[in-house]
Homo-oligomer: A and B are copies of this chain.
Amino acid sequence: MKRKIVIVGLGLIGGSLARAFQKYAGCPVAGIDRDPAVVQAALRCGAIGKAGTEKDIQEADILYLCLYPQADVQFVREHLSSIRPGCVVTDTCGIKSWICPRLSGLAAKRGFAFVGGHPMAGKEKSGFSASDADLFRGASYILVPCGAPRETVNLLRNISAELGFGSAVETTPEEHDRIIAFTSQLPHVLACAYVKSPQCLKHRGFSAGSYRDVSRVASINETMWTELFLENREALVGELDTLTKHIREIRDAVDTRDADTLRRLLREGRLIKEKLGE
């Protein structure tokens, strides 16, 4: 790959992308991070080929924004005059209805292309020290074209395959946010709510896979997720209300000792899972 890649933000996602470019595409990237120690660490271990400069931004073929959503937009605003028409700008953040119109607007103004992106991979830990060239192996890559030229979408799609993603899907910002509220945001809320039971601190010796699974992502980065939750407020509140309603149905059946209803409610869950073939 001969393209000039700049990655902005070398946290878990940006750091892992940089490492994947190095390992799987043989393409060292220019890396930018507000923390000089992170840039140094990334240079030392070879995750990035160089510390990114304004000149690298000016020459970039693709600019991956790997900051929090508001910081992504802020970065593009601050460097707008450096981003050349012809550059493809993409982000990696977990919400899209908020960020896509903003970055598409800036793209139209300046004449570069913007395609929303969301790599469906993560970890309980954050930061460059948790980054991993194999984080995306087999994962899905969500693309939100927002009217960008077909070739730019295909370019990002092809690169994702080269970096080890298992598949790529395309969607709108609105559909993305509705589904992500369910698949990703809801489990994070749940994990945090779950571990607050007074029983949690006594779980050792009394727990197995199902405790581990529900509680896993409670080690949340609260600053990032607060921003992500508030930027997907309506969809998330909707999903939380749906979930709470279904929990309450089961709760009431248990409380009233209504075995038939309880069995039916549990069976409904099982049948959905079976329909999905999981």
Interface residue A19 (Cβ < 8 Å from any Cβ of B): no
Interface residue A191 (Cβ < 8 Å from any Cβ of B): yes
Interface stretch, picked from A47-55, A101-109, A154-162, A264-272, is A264-272
Copies in the complex: 2
Q: Which residue of B lies closest to A261 (CB)?
A: B226
Give the one of A169, A220, A257, A276 with max B CB within 10 A.
Answer: A276
Does the CB pair B201–A120 fall under 8 Å? no
Q: Which residue of B lies closest to A194 (CB)?
A: B243
Does the CB pair B263–A219 fall under 8 Å? no
Q: Which residue of B lies closest to A257 (CB)?
A: B230
Docked CA distance A229–B251 (Å): 10
Does the CB pair A139–B208 fall under 8 Å? yes
A265 CB to closest chain B CB (Å) equals 7
A247 CB to closest chain B CB (Å) equals 5
Docked CA distance A205–B122 (Å): 14
For the complex, would chain A's binding face be called helix, strand, loop or mixed by DSSP majority? Answer: helix
Partner of A219, one of B122, B218, B223, B278: B278
Does the CB pair B219–A270 fall under 8 Å? yes
A245 CB to closest chain B CB (Å) equals 8
Encode A124-137 as 1/0 by CB contact (under 8 A) with B: 00000000000000
Interface residue A209 (Cβ < 8 Å from any Cβ of B): yes
Partner of A254, one of B204, B230, B259: B230
Docked CA distance A84–B233 (Å): 64
Does the CB pair A222–B181 fall under 8 Å? no
Give the one of A180, A215, A249, A266 with max B CB within 10 A.
Answer: A266
Does the CB pair B193–A214 fall under 8 Å? no
Does the CB pair B229–A255 fall under 8 Å? no
Within 8 A of B (CB), among A229-249: 229-230, 233, 236-237, 239-244, 246-249
A258 CB to closest chain B CB (Å) equals 9
Given pairs A183-B207, A193-B249, A233-B257, 17 additional interface contacts (CB within 8 A):
A140-B206, A176-B206, A183-B203, A186-B194, A189-B250, A189-B251, A190-B194, A192-B250, A192-B265, A195-B276, A200-B272, A201-B272, A201-B275, A215-B278, A219-B274, A223-B263, A233-B255
Can you name 27 A-B pairs with beta carbons within 8 Å?
A: A122-B208, A140-B205, A169-B205, A179-B202, A179-B206, A181-B199, A182-B211, A183-B199, A183-B207, A187-B210, A189-B247, A190-B214, A192-B246, A192-B250, A192-B268, A192-B269, A193-B247, A193-B249, A196-B272, A197-B243, A200-B276, A201-B275, A219-B270, A229-B262, A240-B250, A240-B254, A243-B247
